[in-house]
């Protein structure tokens, strides 16, 4: 078996929370959207139906086990996520319009269109314009229960709009502006004083270590982990997933 190595796990552990409670899970807009769907539906199907459907969706009988191994979700959580997902998206696929609808419901005070577009692209790994349940759950698992490094890798992927492996100042500004637009006038207290432009100037200067005008994934992860103010912003950023 694996050698349990508690010493090696201490690094970064202050950011790693234990299993999230249902309450913390419910802070996530995408989870709220799905859970609301299952509760409207009523008790309905039992869990063996979900097992069967999940197997069919994965095109193999061990579908649920495989997802359980790849994510930080329990079997029960995967079942309820899948029920809601199937209820909202009978085709088994989510498109960008759905994301826009979800975020405009949760952020009625602003314009969530652009942010929903960027977020959708971050989930849509194979860039084919739709997200399968597997991609959806793998992304959620990282965002809600991943290690700090995993979350930062995911955030890098979000900021790297054209997916060329680098973040430019323009890309960072586009994402920041889309978050400000979505939050409307009640922007998070810690960013209220700065415009998105000032915010990005500050961040980018810290991240672009070698001053070549782009930020690599290593620069991004290293700077975020060393800089408490950036890390705090990242934690706040989790409130808009």
The pLDDT tens digits of the residues spanning 16-43 come to 433 445 565 667 899 888 888 766 654 4
Asked if the structure places residue 169 within a domain, the reply is yes
- The residue with greater pLDDT, 225 or 44, is 225
Asked if the structure places residue 85 within a domain, the reply is no
Asked if the structure places residue 79 within a domain, the reply is no
Question: Distance between CA atoms of 37 and 142, rounded to whole angstroms?
Answer: 22
CA 236 to chain centre: 12
Number of separate domains in the chain = 1
Q: For 8, how many CA atoms within 13 A lie in the half-sphere containing its CB? A: 3
Q: For 200, how many CA atoms within 13 A lie in the half-sphere containing its CB? A: 21
Q: Which residue has the tokens 């939050």?
A: 183
How many other CB atoms are there within 10 angstroms of residue 67's CB atom?
Answer: 22
Asked if the structure places residue 80 within a domain, the reply is no
> In the prediction, which pLDDT does 36 show?
81
**Residue 185 tokens, joined:** 């006038």
Q: Which residue has the tokens 């061990």?
A: 62
Q: What is the pTM of this model?
A: 0.78
Question: Distance between CA atoms of 234 and 216, rounded to whole angstroms?
Answer: 17
Asked if the structure places residue 186 within a domain, the reply is yes
The pLDDT tens digits of the residues spanning 189-213 come to 554 556 888 889 999 999 999 999 9
Domain housing 180: 147-240
């Amino acid at each position: 078996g694996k050698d349990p190595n508690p010493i090696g796990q201490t690094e970064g552990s202050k950011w790693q929370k234990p299993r999230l409670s249902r309450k913390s899970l419910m802070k996530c807009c995408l989870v709220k959207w799905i859970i609301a769907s299952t509760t409207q539906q009523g008790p309905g199907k039992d869990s063996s139906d979900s097992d069967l459907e999940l197997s069919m969706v994965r095109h193999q009988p061990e579908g649920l086990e495989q997802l359980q191994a790849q994510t930080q979700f329990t079997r029960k959580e995967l079942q309820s996520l899948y029920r809601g997902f199937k209820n909202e998206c009978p085709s088994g696929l989510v498109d960008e319009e759905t994301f826009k609808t979800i975020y405009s419901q949760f952020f009625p005070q602003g314009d969530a269109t652009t942010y929903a577009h960027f977020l959708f692209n971050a989930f849509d790994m194979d860039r084919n314009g739709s997200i399968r349940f597997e991609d959806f759950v793998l992304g959620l698992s990282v965002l809600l229960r991943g290690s700090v490094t995993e979350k930062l890798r995911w955030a890098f992927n979000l900021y790297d709009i054209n997916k060329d492996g680098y973040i430019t100042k323009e890309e960072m500004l586009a994402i920041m502006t889309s978050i400000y637009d979505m939050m409307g006038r009640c922007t998070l207290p810690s960013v209220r004083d700065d415009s998105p432009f000032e915010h990005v100037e500050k961040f980018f200067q810290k991240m672009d270590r070698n001053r070549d005008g782009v930020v690599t994934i290593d620069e991004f992860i290293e700077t975020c982990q060393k800089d408490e103010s950036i890390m705090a912003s990242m934690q706040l950023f989790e409130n808009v997933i």
